[in-house]
Structure 1
């Protein structure tokens, strides 16, 4: 056996010298970092494309276009999340892409958040509410509606059991009323005529009434369109869309100059399916409201599917009332009629 080296030669040092730089490994890590930096940029650009080109998303597969447009305002949530990611990574391209997304969203939806008009000159206050057939507190619901001091109240999902309850509360303030199936209208002004609007054969949940308003007659429609569902096959809207087409035709035939349509349309005004009706009538929320006016579900509203639409009258204010025993929230508006 060779003699031991007195200076420790041939033995491992307890403190090994640092390994030399490894350019290949360092470059790989830098490459991964750049890839991660591109993620917020790409996501912001994808969100921007969705926001600006939503009309190009086809409805042929699962009605995905309508579903996207119903939830379109929620794309704004991507802005603070992606902006934070861009800031943390100090990525200029990501920051620019997020600012582009934010500016586009603000241009589309900013006016809703700011509001547009005041209630000066309003002479008619209207409320519509899907009260819910399973509503356990119809008395409290009716009182919530009356707190808005309305001249017209339109209700959907009225049942034979709850109708007397609503009448008992509402009739004291709104002495004229009409009911057709599961929809009803109460009015402070005389209802001179009423009829069922046959847009959904087999169902009786739409009416037209002629109301002698403060400055002349109005044609008032109260409508409850078929429900839609989101499932494995997509956004099921076929029946609603069919009835919506019939409703649009009925409104198109209306000869009365002043028209008011209220009810649960089971669709947002951003949904392309409502475009024909939107071309004939004006959404009070879009015209005079502040905020998105989401009405469903009541616990945490994510979409505005309950509407007040007008023609020949001027919306001056629009808002959402407090939650009731229904799964919808009531919506209200002031009009200059």
Structure 2
């Protein structure tokens, strides 16, 4: 037995140890935020396990609410009329229960639920959590990386929780992150002081710090967009993508990389640089991605890593949503790349 190697493995920076270290820097802290994050981490571990098992688990089968269960992953319909996988239902239940049982939340907004969940008074805390329990679920059947996205707000004062507690600009978030379930399970987190990535070690059952202090390159060589929607794009988006493919300044063309799972596309953008685009178009004039639990958390992470996030009109984190499932266009990624698309929108606005 290699005792030296075993000793080294006990000196790892786990996500629990990291959060406790952060807590120690705030003497006034009561540990509530740490407890909440631990419950989110637990939910991520559970969903990771369920995703890996796919439909082989009896619990996954029981999560199907359709009248027929074929043993496949596509037998349910979501409340918004989109196709919903059984794992979506399970993941949503896992996170709702994990968050409520933490005793630290007061209101929850999930992509899968039409209405917000108000936590009963006896289990109520100070935090509001917005989340997409299983983003990219249309990719489940083909094995593409999917993930959970979340953002955390805190109630400003002691009152009965209401929608105004979550209908705040993204810049008011205390923390945001995502957990990507792919070839490895990676949790990326920011509590407002930079971005760190943790990878799940299955042998320990712990998330280990593997990507400390992530900084997105100032300019990237990759653009990520669904070019199948090109005929419906507005002028600035079309011009930007044309510039990516056929640069006139003598620089190399950018490479197109598009997975179709926001967590996977944003994760690659964060690590390698470049830009992720999901613009408004004729088909979706308000954009397609949801503000509270997709646009805001990812924009928060990008800014914390030194990048930018833009809606086509303003800084993404300055948006004030009016509805919990509101949508918005989004351009996020390397600082210089987002500057370019901002300039194109500014030029378009001047013409008008």
TM-score when scaled to structure 2?
Answer: 0.28
Which of structures 1 and 2 has the larger relative contact order (alpha carbons within 8 angstroms, sep 6+)? 1
- Tell me which structure has the larger Cα radius of gyration: 1
